[in-house]
Amino acid sequence: MAEPQENQFGIEIRGLSKIFGPRATDMAALVAQGISKAELNERHGHVLGLRDINIDMPAGRIQVIMGLSGSGKSTLIRHINRLIDPTVGEILVGGEDVVKMDAGALRTFRRHKTAMVFQKFALLPHRTVLENTVYGLEVQGVPRARQVDEAMRWIARVGLGGFEKHYPNQLSGGMQQRVGLARALTNDAPILLMDEAFSALDPLIRTDMQTVLLDIQKEIRKTIVFITHDLDEALRLGDRIAILRDGEIVQQGTSQDIVLRPADDYVESFVREVNRGKVIEVDAVMTPLAGDGAPGSPQVPVGTTVDEAIGTLVAGTGDSLTITGTDGVPVGAVTLRQLAAALTSAR
């Protein structure tokens, strides 16, 4: 593959609301006035799916949308390629509004701009791994030889080399989802939509797949929208995270923002269960430094997790660390006490 071009396809979601029911458009005004989900259901028999969603998803990064079941996260991701039509709102992909596309334009958009990975894999059971993987290119009408070349490369890349002729039923869940991932990547679309892609997998395989995804993302720099109900997964993968509850966004930000500054009790209750040491970075707890650090203390770069920092610290003899910037110049210092304080959420 040629050097990946700079990904231009960020996704901007503007004022998106989705109401399910026969007179959804009439209800939009009520929703805009702030009627509650329960009241809309009881008084008018309509279900509020999403309310006034605004998200900026930067190009070439992983945007995680996290929420429990019923929070509307799967509905939200299906708006991006319009498997579900919004009631009101705009979805701008690379500056173009997906909502305004007609059927033909939408099909072209889905073929060339997006690829999707599904929670239940959604492979074609009558096709082999190879035939599943070429599907996107086949639909595009790409010559067969190129379909196979691309597909074989990605099958090997996700670690399924040698399984091309197997049927999905002959593979374990983890392997089936690798096929799902290979199928999406073969499409070579700038946007990758992953709907609870790893939720159906065993914990170990899930971690494994997260690693595979992060590795691949370093090369391909897609705009990835990743849906999950698992905060650990969200924190591990997400460059940015949006937390969804009952169809509304309760907090958006980086993993540091979410863990260190939960917006409300709801987010707080999730964050309490998180392994903070693996998420919080030393920059968040260090004391900024004007001159040089304590002489002789071990150095760690900015962006090191608290967990790793403690590891470095206990391996040595001192009780403080010097934090260095990207240029190697010391920018701060952190003590064991500060690191330990970061690990506990009890204050």
Site residues for another protein per CB under 8 A: 81, 83, 107-112, 114-116, 118, 120, 122-126, 135-136, 138-140, 167-172, 187, 193
Q: How far apart are CA 190 and CA 256, in angstroms?
A: 27
* SS3 of 312-343: HHHHCCCCEEEEECCCCCEEEEEEHHHHHHHH
Among residues 35 and 171, whose Cβ is nearest to another protein? 171
Among residues 189 and 209, whose Cβ is nearest to another protein? 189
> Which tokens hold the place of 271?
């964050």
Among residues 115 and 274, whose Cβ is nearest to another protein? 115
At closest approach, how far in Å is the CB of 197 from another protein?
Answer: 12
Q: Name 17's bridge partners.
A: 88
Which run of H or of E encompasses 227? Answer: strand 223-228
> Which tokens hold the place of 270?
């999730």
At closest approach, how far in Å is the CB of 98 from another protein?
Answer: 13
Q: Cβ distance 223 to 193 under 8 Å?
A: no
CB atoms within 10 A of CB 264: 11
> 136-163 burial string, b = 16+ CB within 10 Å, else e?
bbeeeebeeeebbebbbebbebbbbeeb
At closest approach, how far in Å is the CB of 79 from another protein?
Answer: 12
Among residues 11 and 280, whose Cβ is nearest to another protein? 11
Q: Cβ distance 285 to 260 under 8 Å?
A: no
Among residues 95 and 104, whose Cβ is nearest to another protein? 104
Say how far residue 258 (Cα) sits from the centre of its chain.
14
Among residues 135 and 270, whose Cβ is nearest to another protein? 135
At closest approach, how far in Å is the CB of 122 from another protein?
Answer: 4
At closest approach, how far in Å is the CB of 119 from another protein?
Answer: 8
At closest approach, how far in Å is the CB of 172 from another protein?
Answer: 6
Reference 184, options 94, 123, 120, 97; nearest CA is: 123
Among residues 77 and 306, whose Cβ is nearest to another protein? 77
Q: Cβ distance 100 to 85 under 8 Å?
A: no
Residue with token string 């070349």? 149
Among residues 208 and 248, whose Cβ is nearest to another protein? 208
Reference 129, options 107, 109, 159; nearest CA is: 159
Cα–Cα distances in angstroms (integers) from residue 75 to residues 128, 132, 180, in the given order = 30, 25, 20
Q: How far apart are CA 38 and CA 35, in angstroms?
A: 8
At closest approach, how far in Å is the CB of 258 from another protein?
Answer: 29
